[in-house]
Amino acid sequence: MRARSLLAPSGAAMISEEDNDRYLAEVLGVLKEIFEGGSKWALLDAIYHCLLMKRPLPEWLRAAFLHTYEARTRFEIRSWDEVFGRPVPKSTHLTKERRNAEWRFRILERVRELAPPIDKGLFEQIGEELGISGTTVSEIYYDQRTRELYEMIYGPSGIF
């Protein structure tokens, strides 16, 4: 099977199509459990991951999406928010979330470049470079979305 590189700086490891398929199967398994537990937003996330990885939808996902979409034609829903959840939860500070999303990858890369120890001093150094506080760097670094980004790019690590 032909391997392709993930678009990441500093010579990231090669990721094979087989690895991509394993990763996608794992993600879809988790999202299926979440969806079956009543969190409908997982349906859109599962579709997103299939499209991102250029893979067909598994049967459970295809059937769930069709059933959910057809609920509209049966007048069982008033809005897509009922089906998939609000895109942005109430009381979310959009400016802060946009900033964090913008800096997330840069913070990950700087931590990798500067290496351990991962401590307050490291976060303060990175914060100085970015013009933000070390506390903000730490909050972004330890955020669940940062871990997901890290694992998507580099694989599971145990550093979080």
Contacts of 141 (CB under 8 A, 6+ apart): 107, 108, 111, 118, 123
| 74-130 residue pLDDT tens | 998 888 888 787 777 788 888 888 888 888 999 988 988 887 788 899 999 999 999
Number of C-alpha atoms within 13 angstroms, CB side, residue 111? 24
CA distance 24 to 46: 9
In this model, does residue 152 exceed pLDDT 90? no
Where do the structural domains in the chain lie, given as residue ranges? Answer: 3-84, 94-154
Q: How far is it, in rounded angstroms, from Cα 109 to Cα 8?
A: 9
Mean predicted confidence (pLDDT) in 133-152 = 86
Q: Which residue has the tokens 């500067």?
A: 114
Whether 48 and 42 have beta carbons less than 8 Å apart is answered as no
d(CA 26, CA 48) in angstroms, rounded, equals 14
Answer yes or no: is pLDDT of 148 > 50: yes
Q: Please tell me which residue, 18 or 123, carries the higher pLDDT value.
A: 123
Backbone torsions φ then ψ of 30, nearest 5 degrees? -65, -45
**Alpha-carbon span 123 to 17, nearest angstrom:** 35
Cα–Cα dist 23/152, whole Å:
8
Whether the pTM exceeds 0.85: the reply is no
pLDDT at 56: 94
Band of pLDDT at residue 158, cut at 50, 70 and 90: low
Q: Is the pLDDT of residue 151 over 80?
A: no
Predicted confidence at residue 87, as pLDDT, reads: 79
Omega cis (within 30) before 117: yes
Q: Are 40 and 85 in contact (CB under 8 A)?
A: yes
- Residue-level pLDDT at 114: 85
Side chain identity at 51, as an amino acid letter? L
Predicted local distance difference test score (pLDDT) of residue 157: 57
Beta-carbon contacts of 150 under 8 Å, excluding residues fewer than 6 positions away, are 108, 157, 159, 160
Tens digit of each residue's pLDDT (9 = 90 or more) over 26-80: 889 988 998 998 888 889 989 999 998 889 999 999 999 999 888 888 998 888 8
